């Protein structure tokens, strides 16, 4: 067509970048989903010392574990969404490139028939 030309190879290269990003974020998502910790992970004293020297911790281990889990689950949700969305962006770009190619072929046929 006169006036512009869509370079669909560039669109397809961009789609490949998004597919690559989806592949890179997948193992990170898997790693984060397995990083759960119990409240004991936030407790640094042994039970015998605690029995001999009672202390008031500023933040109980249960609260620390709850805060950690809130952030961990939030990141897991974000990474899971990124994995899905990045792949869908790549698929959409491929569909766009294919549609441009198909429509360009149709327009070329129409113009050839007109002359």
- Nearest 5°: the CA angle 105, 108, 109 is 90
Q: What is the reported pLDDT for 60?
A: 79
pLDDT tens digits for range 34-92: 999 988 888 777 666 666 656 666 677 888 899 999 999 999 999 999 999 999 999 99
> CA-CA distance, 12 to 86, in Å (whole number)?
14
In this prediction the pTM is: 0.68
pLDDT at residue 107, rounded to an integer = 72
112 against 39, higher pLDDT:
39
What confidence score (pLDDT) does residue 106 get? 76
C-beta of residue 33 within 8 angstroms of C-beta of residue 76: yes
């Amino acid at each position: 067509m006169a006036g512009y030309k869509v370079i669909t190879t560039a669109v397809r290269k961009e789609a490949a970048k998004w597919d690559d990003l989806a592949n890179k974020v997948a193992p990170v998502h898997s790693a984060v989903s397995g990083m759960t910790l119990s409240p004991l992970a936030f407790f640094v004293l042994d039970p015998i010392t605690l029995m001999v020297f009672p202390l008031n911790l500023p933040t109980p281990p249960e609260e620390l574990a709850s805060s950690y889990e809130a952030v961990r689950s939030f990141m897991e949700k974000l990474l899971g969404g990124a994995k899905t969305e990045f792949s869908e962006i790549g698929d959409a770009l491929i569909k766009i490139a294919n549609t441009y190619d198909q429509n360009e072929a149709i327009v070329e046929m129409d113009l050839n028939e007109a002359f």
